[in-house]
Amino acid sequence: MEEIAYAKINLALHVRGRAADGYHRIETVFAFAEDGDRLTVAPGEGLSLALTGPFADALAGENDNLVLRAARAFAEVAGVQADAALTLDKRLPVASGIGGGSADAAAALRLLERYWDLSLRQESLQLLAATLGADVPACLASRAARGEGRGDQLVPIDSEGLTETPLLLVNPASPVSTSQVFAAWDGIDRGPLTDWRDGRNDLEAPARTLAPAIGQVLDALTGADFARMSGSGATCFGLFTSEVERDRAAARIAAEQPRWWTLATRLKKSAGRE
């Protein structure tokens, strides 16, 4: 069995303040790409995780990968023996603002629900997802939604006009720490999020202080119909009116910046788990 860990896109992200528990209150609009990491499962004694793919080395030193944490937590909640041999094909760069470990953890929950032949209530699985990280509930559903609170208070939105839109993701090979970006936020509430196109990403300015190449990436995406940084960076995205224009931009960027990572894809049409 296989599950895609769909790349997460923040179409807009407004930071409204910092809560007493240290977390930041945000308003965001989530969307998801059709592509991402790939997680497969096979019979095994106990839980194991093998890493493959172009970004596997970046996770090789982790002693407690979020995929394994998700699997163990799921088995405990469901009351099943945690037996599964998992393989993560890591195709997305780490610390890049497009879901990463959160998407992988969510994919593990969806995959193991099928593999262990379980059927948990959506509310129960969402509560479990929230214990694993603020973005995991959104990644579990993998559908367009508005997120508030830590980003885990979700309301699905009408994705008409978004689904199957040609999408180009670009990362300047600059890992960025989410915690450092939030710590560098200036603390100014610049107002609520209404329409994502008229919104902003309040984390772009602090992220640029850590990864100045973000500005170059956005400049390289000037041919897009719409471009913005996703999450805490450094990945930026461009939405295009056609796949031809998207692919032309991808080829140009790859030629000009061969070290940068690019992914030509589309915004996904349906949820990973309804």
Residue 103 phi, psi (nearest 5): -65, -40
**Of 190, 208, 207, residue with least CA distance to 199:** 190
Residue 222 phi, psi (nearest 5): -65, -20
Token output for 150? 């830590």
In terms of DSSP H, where are the helices of the chain? Answer: 66-78, 101-115, 122-132, 136-141, 178-184, 204-210, 213-220, 243-256
How far is Cα of residue 131 from the mean position of the Cα atoms in its chain?
17
**Of 165, 148, 112, 108, residue with least CA distance to 132:** 108
Let me know how many helices (H) and strands (E) the chain has, helices first: 8, 10
Residue in this structure with the two tokens 């080829």, named with its chain if needed? 251
Label residue 226 exposed, middle or buried (CB < 10 Å: 0-12, 13-18, 19+): middle
Catalytic residues: 8, 135
Asked if residue 201 lies in contact with residue 228, where contact means CB atoms within 8 angstroms, the answer is yes
Token output for 175? 């890992």
In whole angstroms, give the CA distance from residue 274 to residue 259.
38
